[in-house]
Amino acid sequence: MRELRGKTAVVTGGGSGIGRSLVLAFAREGMNVVIADIELANAEAVAAEAAALGVRTLAVRCDVADRESVAAMAARASDAFGGVQLLCNNAGIVPFAPIQDTTPANWDWAMAVNVDGPFNGVNAFLPALRAAGEAHIVNTASIAGLYALPGLAAYVASKFAVVGLSEALRVDLAPFNIGVSVLCPGGVRTNIMASTEHRQAAFGGPVSVPVEYRTAAAGADQMEPDDVAALVVRAVKENQFYVPTHPDTREPAAARTARVAAGYDWLG
């Protein structure tokens, strides 16, 4: 989708972090933007920033784990702009725990937001994307969707699912001229640590991040979200599927691929 100006983008989790940077990057390209976030005040603040760039905006409170909430957001987007050409399923959370400490509530929370969320977005917007004639979907996964990181069992499982969903979408939607990209970022300077503070009541309500994870994140070399957004804009224009962000993650990703191939060697 080479030309973005005048088209409409929807970004879930658009009120902060990578989502905010995506919104502003698309606005600079001349796109109208729908900013969906579970925190309406955050969405409204980003909408004001985007509007200052000269585009039309819509801020909507949306819980991506709630199918009715996503459907209502899609209806508002359609009413406001008449069509959507770019969907960014970006909202995501991180339950910080190895498998032995992963509770059913945190497992369900990870799957509801990180896996059901992208499906809910695709389900709600696919008619509009097909009607657009040319469209694109960006799903935010993680480098943890390409190889396992320790201590993040539910998160890793959910992000592997996002990569798999994205691969299926790329195959299924190609006949409809709908491109697909899967964003697989490494460490990015966002407030994803705060996601646990917004855990919905259905999954046990807010919970604090264990101190060891906060300490590890504070010492990590993190990328700026604006730099990630720039990669996404390029990927949309070039219909690039895999969108990693950190060159130093190439080796462990390749090592996992080699281990998969070795399984076939084992067959003899």
Query: Which residues have a Cβ under 8 Å from the Cβ of 117 and sit 6 or more positions away?
Result: 12, 64, 65, 70, 89, 91, 92
Q: Is 128 left (phi over 0), alpha (psi -120 to 50) or beta?
A: alpha
CA distance 97 to 210: 9
Strands (DSSP E) found in 129-246: 135-140, 178-184, 242-244
Q: Reply yes or no on whether 155 is catalytic.
A: yes
* Span 128-140, average pLDDT: 97
Strands 135-140 and 32-37: unpaired
Q: Between the CA of residue 249 and those of 146, 211, 254, what are the distances in Å?
A: 10, 25, 9
pLDDT of the residue at 219: 54
The topology (CATH level 3) of 8-267 is: Rossmann fold (3.40.50)
The torsion defined by the Cα of 182, 154, 121 and 181, in degrees rounded to 10, comes to 0
pLDDT of the residue at 218: 53
- 183: tokens are 């964003």
**Does residue 216 register a pLDDT over 80?**
no
Query: Which residues have a Cβ under 8 Å from the Cβ of 65 and sit 6 or more positions away?
Result: 109, 112, 113, 116, 117, 120, 200
Express each pLDDT in 42-97 by its tens digit: 999 999 999 999 999 999 999 999 999 999 999 999 999 999 999 999 999 999 89
Q: Let me know if 170 is exposed, middle or buried by CB neighbors in 10 A (0-12, 13-18, 19+).
A: middle
Do 185 and 249 touch, CB atoms closer than 8 A?
A: no
pLDDT of the residue at 214: 62
Q: Let me know if 134 is exposed, middle or buried by CB neighbors in 10 A (0-12, 13-18, 19+).
A: middle
CA distance 98 to 112: 19
Which listed residue (147, 155, 242, 264) is catalytic? 155
E strand or H helix at 33: strand 32-37
Express each pLDDT in 160-211 by its tens digit: 999 999 999 999 999 999 999 999 999 998 877 777 777 888 888 877 777 7
**Does residue 120 register a pLDDT over 90?**
yes
